């Protein structure tokens, strides 16, 4: 009998591939290229993706044998879960694999925006010794507003408390008592905007959160606020942010995610006080190893008809 086929549509850790190769035929494709993806899914039992592959209803129409789609990361926003359910395909992810890594990246961006690390680095590499131009701000005693107190938001809040920051958060799904246990004060969105020196976004992308920080919100912020988004592109409206930076209402931004990815050209890239990275939030060796092995194990369980626990 032939082995079930697993199609890996993006880079997966060697440890994850090894788990799969023990039981399955493993094939690879560039999932970001629909013209390659659609014929490749025709006879596979499982599909593994990260962020670049859009698993749409069209993909399910081409994949009559498909039984499971696995996303090697947190969230499922590039998988059409409704279409998967209609097609009878199970969808799994690795919800805790990269939470520490994502939290650390958000903090890296926050520190970079506070202390102009990339700007100073870039100038010095060009032979320019500019000290006063890149004077920054301290974190100690400042207020950070954490938007979304889920798994990643909590890790960020705990770590920023160690910088002696005053941590406030907006999350309509979290009880004030739970926040208080973490030493975090829950506030309304407008209070968070008005009181924060730094705002960091840790929300999933949903119809509710898309554009949550738009023009109205960016007119309520404290002057000199710095905004970090290492969650999902579009939660902070890019046009509104561009305008707020031009107007001097926002002193800096650290962005890892964009409305459309890959993003290589954006008006935001022209501001010296905007620090950007190409969706690196989950990109550490540790997180990729965990994501790879977690989804590989889930795929193995799903294909053998066993219960797949939440990782």
Catalytic residues: 232, 261, 279
133: DSSP letter: G
**Beta-ladder partners of 146:** 169, 200
Q: Which stretch binds ligand MLT (CB under 6 A): 58-66, 68-76, 180-188, 218-226?
A: 68-76
**What gap in Å lies between CA 90 and CA 82, rounded to an integer?**
11
CB of 124 to ligand MLT, least distance (A): 30
126: left (phi over 0), alpha (psi -120 to 50) or beta: alpha
CB of 224 to ligand MLT, least distance (A): 29
Residue 73 engages ligand MLT in binding (rule: CB under 6 A) = yes
Note whether 293 binds ligand MLT by CB under 6 A: no
Interaction pattern, residues 253-292, with ligand MLT; x per rule: CB under 6 A: --------------------------x-xx----------
Measured at the CA of 255, the angle between CA 254 and CA 256, to 5 degrees, comes to 130
Is residue 166 a contact residue for ligand MLT (CB under 6 A)?
no
Report yes or no: 60 and 37 within 8 Å, Cβ to Cβ. no
Instruction: Please tell me whether residue 51 binds ligand MLT under the rule CB under 6 A.
Output: yes
CB atoms within 10 A of CB 26: 21
The total of other beta-carbon atoms located within 10 Å of residue 123's CB is 17
Check residue 74 for interaction with ligand MLT (CB under 6 A).
yes
Find the largest Cα–Cα distance for the chain: 70
Taking CB atoms, the residue at the shortest distance from ligand MLT is: 73
How long is the chain? Answer: 311
Instruction: Report the alpha-carbon distance of residue 252 to residue 241 in Å, rounded.
Output: 10
Contact status: 50 vs ligand MLT (CB under 6 A): yes
Q: Of the candidates 25, 75, 289, 308, which one interacts with ligand MLT according to CB under 6 A? A: 75
Task: Give 75 or 211: the residue with its C-beta nearer to ligand MLT.
Answer: 75
Per CB under 6 A, which region of 70-78, 133-141, 207-215, 301-309 contacts ligand MLT?
Answer: 70-78
Euclidean distance between CA atoms 149 and 273, whole angstroms: 27
Q: In the complex with ligand MLT, which residue's Cβ is closer, 94 or 165?
A: 94
Residues that bind ligand MLT (CB under 6 A): 50-51, 73-75, 98, 279, 281-282
């Amino acid at each position: 009998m032939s082995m079930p086929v697993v199609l890996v549509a993006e880079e997966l850790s060697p440890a994850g591939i090894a788990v799969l190769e023990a039981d399955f035929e493993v094939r690879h494709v560039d999932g970001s290229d629909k013209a390659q993806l659609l014929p490749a899914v025709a006879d596979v039992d499982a599909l593994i993706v990260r962020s670049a592959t859009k698993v749409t209803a069209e993909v399910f129409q081409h994949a009559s044998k498909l039984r499971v789609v696995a996303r090697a990361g947190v969230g499922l926003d590039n998988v059409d879960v409704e279409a998967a359910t209609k097609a009878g395909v199970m969808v799994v992810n690795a919800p805790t694999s990269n939470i520490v890594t994502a939290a650390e990246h958000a903090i890296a961006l926050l520190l970079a925006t506070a202390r102009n690390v990339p700007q100073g680095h870039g100038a010095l590499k060009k032979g320019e010794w500019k000290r006063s131009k890149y004077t920054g701000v301290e974190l100690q005693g400042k207020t950070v507003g954490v938007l979304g107190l889920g798994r990643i938001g909590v890790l960020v809040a705990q770590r920023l408390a160690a910088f002696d920051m005053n941590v406030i958060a907006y999350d309509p799904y979290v009880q004030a008592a739970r926040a208080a246990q973490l030493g975090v004060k829950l506030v309304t969105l407008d209070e968070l905007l008005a009181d924060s020196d730094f705002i960091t976004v840790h929300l999933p992308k949903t119809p509710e959160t898309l554009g949550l920080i738009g023009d109205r919100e960016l007119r309520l912020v404290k002057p000199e606020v710095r905004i970090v988004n290492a969650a999902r592109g579009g939660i902070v409206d890019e046009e509104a942010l561009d305008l707020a930076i031009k107007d001097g209402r926002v002193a800096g931004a650290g962005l890892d995610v964009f409305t459309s990815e890959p993003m290589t050209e954006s008006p935001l890239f022209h501001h010296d006080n905007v620090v950007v990275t190409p969706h690196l939030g989950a990109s550490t060796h540790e997180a990729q190893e965990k994501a790879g092995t977690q989804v590989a194990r889930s795929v193995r369980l799903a294909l053998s008809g066993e219960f797949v626990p939440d990782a």
